[in-house]
Structure 1
């Protein structure tokens, strides 16, 4: 018992030292202000690409000016995401000091000046929304929702990240938003099917829940549950069991809604379903490992097996977008096997 109390005290002193260091860190340079925009997280915008592909496959819109719209659209998404990252790092700096990895962030270790931070945030958000308007009014409306999602997630009195389960659902809402950004880059006359949007949302919720599960297991084991609670208020109501169950729930909802979508719009995608399921299983396996890359989604491209499986799934879906398999149409027609009565 005495050893346990000493260990807890040492952990408390350690986190207090981290907070003290965050307030007395060296003066930030201009590179530090660029760094908090997290341009290295641009890999997350790969979730925009399926929206482009699906819009083309289902609507077949004219592609005049599509290349310019896609370039401006991606630039807009990157700028708005950077604005959200800036405000996230600034407002979370004292909480991030308790996280083993996030305690290394610039805002924790450098003296940033609030006027410069807010000016950077305003510049990225304003330029991103201006570019969005040049792409088109529907794209701009989706971009505004993207920007507002960052405020709801990070800023009081909303700050959804502090509320259990709602933190996962609000953060993963960026997934269907990104899909709609891709969709409206090339088609301004329609919206993506609701079944696809909600499936994309639940898929993102699975990824975020797996991230929370990985963080819970690692931080609780190495630093203690108390440190975990100080890092993120929502963790006070989570357990390893509840997070694991939520992963299964989101995965099942995602695959169920994907089934609805593919039966209604493109039955050929059913052939890629085993690969999609394998992706869920492999990602959950990753989240249960020590030092899991699931805690750093922006670095998932370094996980070789995951990238191979993702590439195979993407290639399959892309191929099935253009390949018709007429015999699969029978799966969409209700059919009962009848048994003739004995003579």
Structure 2
């Protein structure tokens, strides 16, 4: 009897290598693009402070992929009884096939140990970031805390992956320091905006098609959320992200303030995407196929490159304290 025939008559299908590889979600590796700004910022602000740049680059990226895949493995395994209520996640390998929990656990352990070992070979800073990455995966997915089931805490803990990736990128260039606190907080709040927008998109789509009861069975945090609170949280996270970004731009290079209109445009268009049917915001790993988002990102890169190379003294004068006197 073929696998398809087994599925059709409801006979459990034993997972094979392909299904175990699927839960590692290697296609989500596109999210590691958030490592790149850390590399660029470290180079611009600190310069190269390692004698093994290429090795650090390879080790840092490989460590991030391994730890992320370990997190995805336990995520899919522990979520299988919840994801079956989701319209699309119900097709995941951990639900459609019968998996061995011991195999999943061994895969998680192997990937975590491999990722941490690679990070340690890169630098102590990369190792610390990788450890935090691994701990986040446990706190987010594993009972009794399982922060993904707690409204607002779910977004805050999941989005910490953003600054972790920033630090990994920074450590590749400069393993002797941390990125400025303002840009770490900007990255964290920006990630929270992305995750809140994802939940808003899921809420709107699943409630419209299946109702609120199905939504809360899929994820307990949705019993607390509603469309208004999710929209408000998106606005709040985006405002915090822009505020911390403004602090960073003003302190480290005033010319970068010219990127702000493009950043605001990016947040605005992304929010519009999140409130549209079939939104790409539900699958951030697929955003590379969204041409409007990518066009804005390329514009942002172009403006950032220009302001990195060109000094504009007039901006320094504008940023200083000036008063219009009436006498």
Q: CA deviation at 1:68?
A: 1.6
Find out whether 1:338 has 2:325 as its counterpart: yes
Instruction: Measure the CA separation in 1 of the matches of 2:99 and 2:235.
Output: 41
Which residue, 225, 228, 233 being the options, matches 2:220?
233
CA deviations 1:270-312 (Å, max 9, x no partner) are 1111110000000000001111110011111111111111111
Instruction: Measure the CA separation in 2 of the matches of 1:317 and 1:110.
Output: 47
Instruction: Measure the CA separation in 1 of the matches of 2:249 and 2:325.
Output: 27
Q: CA deviation at 1:33?
A: 0.7
Q: CA deviation at 1:245?
A: 0.7
Instruction: Measure the CA separation in 1 of the matches of 2:57 and 2:33.
Output: 13
Instruction: Measure the CA separation in 2 of the matches of 1:100 and 1:110.
Output: 17
**Counterpart residue number, 1:69:** 56
**Counterpart residue number, 1:110:** 97
Which entry has the higher C-alpha Rg, 1 or 2? 1
CA deviations 1:302-341 (Å, max 9, x no partner) are 111111111111222233233322221123322212221x
**Counterpart residue number, 2:241:** 254
- Normalising by structure 1, what TM-score? 0.91
CA deviations 1:76-119 (Å, max 9, x no partner) are 00000000000000000010000011101100101111111111
CA deviations 1:182-230 (Å, max 9, x no partner) are 1111111111111111111110000000000000000001001000000
Mapped contact 1:202–1:254 kept (Cα < 8 A): yes
**1:24 to 1:264, Cα distance in 2 relative to 1, 3 A:** farther
**Counterpart residue number, 2:85:** 98
Any unmatched runs of 5+ in structure 1? 1-19
Mapped contact 1:203–1:251 kept (Cα < 8 A): yes
1:26 counterpart SS class: coil
Instruction: Measure the CA separation in 2 of the matches of 1:127 and 1:319.
Output: 39
Aligned residues: 320
Find out whether 1:269 has 2:256 as its counterpart: yes
Bigger drift between 314-323 and 258-267 goes to 314-323
Instruction: Measure the CA separation in 1 of the matches of 2:132 and 2:236.
Output: 26
Instruction: Measure the CA separation in 2 of the matches of 1:182 and 1:24.
Output: 46
Which residue, 4, 12, 15 being the options, matches 1:28?
15
Which residue, 204, 221, 225 being the options, matches 2:191?
204
Q: CA deviation at 1:62?
A: 3.6
1:111 counterpart SS class: coil
Mapped contact 1:139–1:181 kept (Cα < 8 A): yes
- Aligned runs of 1:1-343 on 2, under 5 Å? 24-62=11-49, 64-340=51-327
- Normalising by structure 2, what TM-score? 0.95
**Counterpart residue number, 1:9:** none
Instruction: Measure the CA separation in 2 of the matches of 1:319 and 1:37.
Output: 38
Mapped contact 2:49–2:176 kept (Cα < 8 A): no
Instruction: Measure the CA separation in 1 of the matches of 2:62 and 2:254.
Output: 33
Any unmatched runs of 5+ in structure 2? 1-6
Q: CA deviation at 1:24?
A: 4.9
Instruction: Measure the CA separation in 1 of the matches of 2:87 and 2:215.
Output: 10
Instruction: Measure the CA separation in 2 of the matches of 1:185 and 1:245.
Output: 36
2:175 counterpart SS class: coil
Mapped contact 1:24–1:111 kept (Cα < 8 A): no
Q: CA deviation at 1:63?
A: 5.2
